[in-house]
Amino acid sequence: MDSVDLEVLKNSVQWQQQGHRVLLVTVVRTWGSSPRPEGAMLAVRDDGLVVGSVSGGCIEDDIIDRVRRQGITSDRPEAIKYGISAEEAHRFGLPCGGTIELVAEPLKPASGIAELLDAVENGRLVARTLDMATGAATLGPANATDGLAFDGKTLLTIHGPRYRMLVIGAGQLSKYLCQIAVGLGFQVTVCDPREEYTETWDIPGVTMVRTMPDDTVTDMKLDERCAVIALTHDPKLDDLALMEALRTRAFYVGALGSRRNNQARRERLKEFDLTELQLARLHGPVGIYIGSRTPPEIAISILAEVIAAKNHVSLPDILQVEGAKAAREMAASTGSSCDVAPDPA
């Protein structure tokens, strides 16, 4: 789940423990363009304090205003629509023709939000079923491919880590990359058998394992909601992990390194009987070309490419490291101008 939505759950539980009433608002349907997807959440405290988001801001303002004027008095959830008319869509900052339906749920002990938060923080993927008539909720197991469902009587939402990321190597770049990846909602595992790197690892929310990378790939049973990124520059570690990862359904497999090193890596991987189709799945040099020089900038470059793959966005060659550098070199050889930034290497 989105890290923003995790903050919604955390604050909801904390506010309830402090004796406040809390209204949990969930996006359940959208028509046309919408600023936030189905499942996005917002929590409003009885004094108007808010965390999370369900729109570009105007709908939040309206909900906050209602809570401040009327309080949170109901014990039952209700469905609310915004943007039914063109005038209302404009008023609430929705794109032309956009409509959004929300479920506003006054939280109480039967809502089970504390239990939901505990499950999510322990890495479990769970389904929450809300009874619209009573406001009671139950938790059950879920699959990563399950989605939100709302029929007016019950609301089913999925919570927990939808996407996993395996990072090979616990170096400085990995620390920046993992911090950002956790914020993006990934369940992150770092694999590095080298004690000199793992002993200084201090990134919260990340699982550290010291097994061999190829064994880790096998143990994790990677599926289509997994990404693998090799960052050690050590073929003994990176190549074995990549060999196994390219045989899985992982949506993204990438490796750090120059164009020359990545070409050499592809030649080595051919010796492991990988097919051309499997080798073609390897992203390398990893990341998009933004002229990155520092570890934080490189981490952003890599994760931008990962998110594009996750969202099924095909990036043009000019945005990828290999294509951008090739375009620059061609421009330099012909003496023509080029919009590609200088090579940071």
Percent pLDDT > 90 in the chain is 58
* Of 3-7, 325-329, 334-338, the least confident: 334-338
Tens digit of each residue's pLDDT (9 = 90 or more) over 257-271: 888 888 899 999 988
- What confidence category does residue 86 fall into, taking pLDDT thresholds of 50, 70 and 90? low
Distance CA 286, CA 231 (A): 9
Verify cis geometry, omega within 30 degrees of 0, for the bond prior to 285.
yes
Q: What pLDDT, on a 0 to 100 scale, did the predictor assign at position 345?
A: 37
Contact call for residues 25 and 42 (beta carbons, < 8 A): yes
Closest by Cα among 53, 61, 69 to 91: 61
Q: What pLDDT, on a 0 to 100 scale, did the predictor assign at position 344?
A: 36
Tell me the torsion sign for CA atoms 70, 71, 76, 79.
positive
Tens digit of each residue's pLDDT (9 = 90 or more) over 19-71: 999 999 999 998 766 667 889 999 999 999 999 988 866 788 889 999 999 99
Where do the CATH 3.40.50.720 domains begin and end in the chain? 163-326
E strand or H helix at 114, and its extent? helix 113-121
Distance CA 277, CA 281 (A): 7
Enumerate residues 6+ apart whose C-beta is below 8 A from 261. 233
* Of 63-77, 164-178, 199-213, 314-328, the least confident: 314-328
Distance CA 147, CA 159 (A): 10
Distance CA 196, CA 286 (A): 25
Distance CA 41, CA 104 (A): 10
Pairing, β 78-82 against β 99-106 = antiparallel
Measured between alpha carbons, how far is residue 203 from residues 88, 144, 208, 219 in Å?
A: 45, 25, 9, 22
| pLDDT at residue 97 tops 90 | no
Q: Give CA 220 to chain center in angstroms.
A: 18
According to CATH, the topology of domain 163-326 is Rossmann fold (3.40.50)
Q: Report the 10 Å Cβ neighbour count for 302.
A: 29
Say which amino acid occupies 10. K
Contact call for residues 226 and 166 (beta carbons, < 8 A): yes
Distance CA 25, CA 222 (A): 33
Contact call for residues 22 and 72 (beta carbons, < 8 A): yes
